[in-house]
Amino acid sequence: MGQKTIQQQRRLMTLAYVCMFFALITVFTSILAYGLASKVANTEGTEVWIQTQALWVVRNITLFIMVAAFGGLWFSPLYFYSWDAYQWVTGLTVVGIIFCFIAWMLLLNAFCKGFFKYLKHKAVF
């Protein structure tokens, strides 16, 4: 494998981690991070530590999107304005906030653990 290919894969992984960091602010950049990491993971002849980094990003972005979507479902009763007076709607809103916070913390933990291993050029598990 050429030096140019290795540098391109490292560049793509760096961009994937940058997008993963910005996914803490907006969910839309998580899709971009997923795409960049899956491109590196599916490349033939990739170094093992870069491939594990890419699979780490793909796995954690998928987990983040699933937990965030599940947390977002709990906000659906807020759509009906007349239901806002009921206590169960407030309870569902609190549960939704808790699940969204858990999703955010999972992504922050995965980003920190993966990025610091990436800086050391080591595989992350």
For residue 50, the tally of other CB atoms under 10 A from its CB is: 20
- Tokens encoding 114: 């993966």
Residue 1: is its pLDDT beyond 60? Answer: no
Q: How far apart are CA 67 and CA 14, in angstroms?
A: 24
pLDDT in tens, 88-105: 788 888 899 999 999 999
Closest CA to 30 of 114, 102, 107, 121: 107
pLDDT in tens, 29-65: 999 999 999 999 988 888 899 999 999 999 999 999 9
Closest CA to 108 of 49, 23, 50, 29: 23
